[in-house]
Amino acid sequence: MDENEAQTGQGAVNPQGDQPHNQTMESLLETESLSVELPQVGEIRKGMIASISSSQILISVGAKSEGVVAGRELEQLTAEERAALSVGQEVNVYVLNPEDQNGNVVLSFKRAQEEMSWENVEKMIADETVIDTKIVGFNKGGLIVAVGNLRGFVPSSQISAARRAQSSGDTPEQRWQKMVGQAISVRIIEVDRERRRLILSERSTSTETRSSMKDRVISELEEGKVYTGKVTSLADFGAFVNVSGADGLVHLSELSWDRLQHPKEILEVGQEVKVKVINIDRDKKRIGLSIRALQDDPWKSRVEKFSVGQLVEGVITRLTKFGAFARLEGDIEGLIHISELSENRVEHPKEVLKEGEVKTLRVIRIDGEQHRIGLSLRKVDSAAFADKDFKMLTQGFQDPDEENKDE
């Protein structure tokens, strides 16, 4: 071996052959594989078209293998839509199946467009956007209008008086057929993504600009006051109520003290309701309303039977690192902070409690505003509450003759 070979290691024989080199390559491949974020069903991804053929379109979406648009999905594309696609083009795709029987990621153009359109209309309803579009069809109840890649419905009650004056006849064809293809301006009044329901209104696009009307109303409204309004639209996140000519939002959490999944459970478009103004953002022109604020808080009525210092029975429902939750009579839940579990140091509530156990607890705090009850296990035998305990005990064992002496 010459000097150069000795310095560079060339010519040296590794007793384990190429194993270190192979291990390095395997670890690199494994690391690269782990770094790939695998597609999930229902996910929308950006991809790049790798190839186009008559039977399939391959799209690179950052997975181990290229995704494929084929079969029925490919057949649904119009000739114009297919002609607009080209190799190297960036597109949005919806993941139908992260891995089919051939190991391919199955993708959809149409579903991606549809899901993005629903996200767009949800933003439009929040921004009170006026949409200029065309009438594309009709049914017995009204007109069908294009909103991006979606179809929205304009009930006959929401068609403008001027357009309804043009309609005549006994059948839908006689009333609406001649309007197909006409331009129309509408606002979204209801979005129910789960049911694929999109309701529009032409009547709500009034002659006075909505911006100037809202400026006027915002200057007149007062926080804390109660007004009567009319429900104008419903969305997953809440309901819009028109007060004096401008829409305000009743967020889902401000609709009721009960837990709701969608405003349609208690409201419908056109319904008259009383609302309380809880916030006015004059810079962003937003009005915050509440229906819940006008209702009696059921939590407060259920908690009236409890008082600070009282001993209560509670079922342990949850253990967390900061304490334990217990369900009291009336389905009220209180928190036993970890510092209130024992006189000794406790690292985790599981050291002293189990879920499902029934325990005697002491009420140490009631916060009506935050809907919170503070409970204590370590203060159950506290001398500080001896007088209260004795009084409660004597009340509980009152002489029956004393109870009946006035009868």
- The stretches of 235-316 forming alpha helices (DSSP H) are 298-303
The CA distance from 131 to 403, in Å, is 73
pLDDT bracket for residue 105 (50, 70, 90): confident
Looking at residue 142, its amino acid is G
CA distance linking residue 180 with residue 169, whole number of Å: 16
* Mean pLDDT to the nearest integer, 233-259: 88
Residue 340: phi and psi, rounded to 5, are -105, 15
Task: Give residue-wise pLDDT tens across range 336-370.
Answer: 999 999 989 989 999 999 999 999 999 999 987 77
Any idea which residue has 């217990």 for tokens?
A: 326
| 45-69 residue pLDDT tens | 888 888 888 888 888 887 666 788 8
**Which is more confident, 147 or 23?**
147
β-strand pairing of 130-139 with 142-147: antiparallel
Report pLDDT for 27. Answer: 47
CB 269 within 8 A of CB 234: yes
Distances (CA, A) of 101 to 56, 69, 97, 138, 270: 16, 15, 10, 42, 51
When pLDDT is cut at 50, 70 and 90, the band that residue 393 belongs to is: low
Query: What is the residue-averaged pLDDT of the chain?
Result: 80
Buried b (16+ CB within 10 A) or exposed e, 204-224: bbeeeebeeebeebbeebeee
First to last CA, the chain: 120
Partners of 235 in the β-ladder: 238
Q: Within 13 Å, how many C-alpha atoms sit on residue 354's CB side?
A: 2
Closest CA to 292 of 253, 331, 262: 253
Tokens of 358: 């029934």
d(CA 336, CA 324): 5
Residue 15 confidence class, pLDDT cut points 50, 70, 90: very low
Task: Spell out the domains of the chain, with CATH numbers in brackets.
Answer: 44-109 (2.40.50.140), 128-201 (2.40.50.140), 210-294 (2.40.50.140), 299-395 (2.40.50.140)
- Quickly state the pLDDT bin for 1 (edges 50, 70, 90): very low
- Dump pLDDT digits (tens) for 176-231: 898 999 989 899 988 888 888 899 998 877 654 556 667 778 888 889 999 998 89
Instruction: Assign 29 a pLDDT band (cuts: 50, 70, 90).
Output: very low
- If one counts every other C-beta atom within 10 angstroms of the C-beta of residue 355, the result is 13
Which structure tokens are listed for 299? 């939590």
Question: In 3-state terms, what secondary structure has residue 203?
Answer: coil
Q: How high is the pLDDT of residue 399?
A: 46
Q: Which residues of 66-97 are buried (b: 16+ CB within 10 A; e: fewer)?
A: bbbbbeebbeebeeeeeeeeeeeeebebbbbe
Q: Counting beta carbons within 10 angstroms of the beta carbon of residue 264, is it exposed (0 to 12), middle (13 to 18) or buried (19 or more)?
A: middle
Q: 201 is written with which tokens?
A: 């209104």
In 9-78, alpha helices (H): 19-35, 71-75
Secondary structure (DSSP) of 64-98: SS-EEEEHHHHHTS-HHHHHT--TT-EEEEEEEES
The per-residue pLDDT for 74 is 81
Q: What percent of the chain has pLDDT over 70?
A: 82
pLDDT of residue 392: 67
Tens digit of pLDDT for each residue in 298-312? 888 788 888 888 899
